[in-house]
Amino acid sequence: MKPFTKLTWLLAVAAQSCAQLQYTSTASSAVAQAAATALTQSPTSQVAGKTFDRFVQIWLENTDYSLAVGNANLKYLASQGILLTNYYAITHPSQPNYVAAVGASTNGITDDSFQRISSGVKTIVDLLEAKGISWGVYQEDMPYSGFEGNYVNQKTKANDYVRKHNPLMSYDSVTSDVNRLAKCKNFTMFNRDLNDNKLPQWMFITPNMTNDGHDTSVTTAGAWARNWLTPLLSDARFNTDRTLIILTFDEGTTLGTNHIYAALLGNAIPATRVGTTDGTKYNHYSLLKTVESNWGLGNLGTNDAGAAAFF
Ligand SMILES: *[C@@H]1O[C@H](CO)[C@@H](O)[C@H](O)[C@H]1NC(C)=O
Ligand SMILES: *[C@@H]1O[C@H](CO)[C@@H](O)[C@H](O)[C@H]1NC(C)=O
């Protein structure tokens, strides 16, 4: 390489690895500065799918199926849609489940630590973007769009937003692209996008460590889910005529089958199926398969290919 070419190359490599870690500082000045300047994007699209035009996933934490179906609020929500009685998480602990739900593989991750999956590894985002389908991740209490670290409540110092519950953040193919980081947003942005009628067609939603049950219990998670979802279910800006929502958990707590609660909601569900159950065996890879079949996206060539779709 000529010296000049080599320098350009080195700068490009440095810029890329910076992008992958540029937004990790939790110092309040760094957070304030980044919050003021970080790119935030809310593109929309109207690509018609076979059975739905919008797909929303909401993940709660660490609860076995038997405990979740016994919770009054989760039971109520399931009665508004379809209870999937035979749905399984992939593994333990949390992080590989989130990673698998967007990348069709745990990518060898077996823990909750800071992970980076190499930039050649694709996710559902690559398939969605290829068809012009808008997407967004909404994470409660993430301090700004594209933040790549962990964040605590600034008053109580309690864990609040965690990277391990943000499914796309471990993928360099996302973090090396500022336009992709700009679509990983917080709940302030969710509310803004809802008000502006700018919610995307594919969404992944994680409440904070209190509301998702991680640092509390299924009682808190169930109450949060019902309170948060009830107004949205009757809001046409969220629950459009052809919206499919899944409320589920990342994993169970007892080692063994990893059987978890999952309920389908939203106007895409035919009236005749509201209040019913579906005993088909599904798992988190079904989240990918359902989306891929609906929009004819092809697949990521791993565990998504043979998974069962909800419709
Ligand atoms: C949410 O993200 C936006 C966009 O980056 C940022 O301006 C805002 O301060 C964040 N809200 C909270 C409560 O952290
Ligand atoms: C999580 O969000 C709720 C509001 O939705 C808030 O009351 C609670 O304090 C937050 N949890 C933490 C640890 O900050």
Residue 302 lies in a domain: no
Residue 96 lies in a domain: yes
Q: Could you say which ligand is closest to the alpha carbon of residue 152?
A: 2
Q: Provide the pLDDT for residue 11.
A: 54
73-123 per-position pLDDT tens digit: 999 999 999 999 999 999 999 999 999 999 999 999 999 999 999 999 999
**Cβ 188 under 6 angstroms from ligand 1:** yes
Residue 304 lies in a domain: no
Residue 218 lies in a domain: yes
242-264 per-position pLDDT tens digit: 999 999 999 999 878 999 999 99
Among 177, 215, 250, 304, the one annotated catalytic: 215
Q: Could you say which ligand is closest to the alpha carbon of residue 189?
A: 1
Q: What is the mean pLDDT of residues 288-297?
A: 98
Q: Provide the pLDDT for residue 260.
A: 98
Q: Is 215 a catalytic residue?
A: yes
| pLDDT band, very low/low/confident/very high, at 174 (cuts 50, 70, 90) | very high
**Cβ 162 under 6 angstroms from ligand 2:** no
| pLDDT band, very low/low/confident/very high, at 309 (cuts 50, 70, 90) | very high
178-222 per-position pLDDT tens digit: 999 999 999 999 999 999 999 999 999 999 999 999 999 999 999
In a mutational test of the pocket of ligand 1, which residue from 22, 28, 39, 145 has the highest number of ligand atoms less than 8 Å from its CB?
Answer: 145
Q: Provide the pLDDT for residue 134.
A: 98
In a mutational test of the pocket of ligand 2, which residue from 141, 152, 157 has the highest number of ligand atoms less than 8 Å from its CB?
Answer: 141
**Cβ 166 under 6 angstroms from ligand 1:** no
The DSSP line for the chain is --HHHHHHHHHHHHHHHHHTTTT----HHHHHHHHHHS--------PPPSS-SEEEEEEE-S--HHHHHTSHHHHHHHHTSEEEEEEE--SSSHHHHHHHHHHSS-TT--SSS---B-TT---HHHHHHHTT--EEEEETT-SSTT--S-EE-TTT--EEE-GGG-TTTTBHHHHT-HHHHTTEEEHHHHHHHHHTT---SEEEEE--TTTTSSSS-HHHHHHHHHHHHHHHHT-TTTS-TTEEEEEEES--SSSSS-EEEEEEESTTS-GGGTTEEE---EETHHHHHHHHHHHT----SSTTTTPPP--
Residue 254 lies in a domain: yes
Q: How many angstroms separate the alpha carbon of residue 24 from the centre of ligand 1?
A: 15
**Cβ 189 under 6 angstroms from ligand 1:** yes
Q: Could you say which ligand is closest to the alpha carbon of residue 208?
A: 2
Range of the domain at 224: 3-295
Q: Provide the pLDDT for residue 9.
A: 54
pTM over 0.75: yes
15-60 per-position pLDDT tens digit: 555 677 889 899 999 999 999 999 999 999 999 999 999 999 999 9
Task: Report the CATH number at residue 36.
Answer: 3.40.720.10
Q: Provide the pLDDT for residue 7.
A: 60
Q: Provide the pLDDT for residue 20.
A: 75
Q: How many angstroms separate the alpha carbon of residue 32 from the centre of ligand 1?
A: 9
Residue 98 lies in a domain: yes
Q: How many angstroms separate the alpha carbon of residue 259 from the centre of ligand 2?
A: 28
**Cβ 105 under 6 angstroms from ligand 2:** no
Provide the number of structural domains found in the chain.
Answer: 1
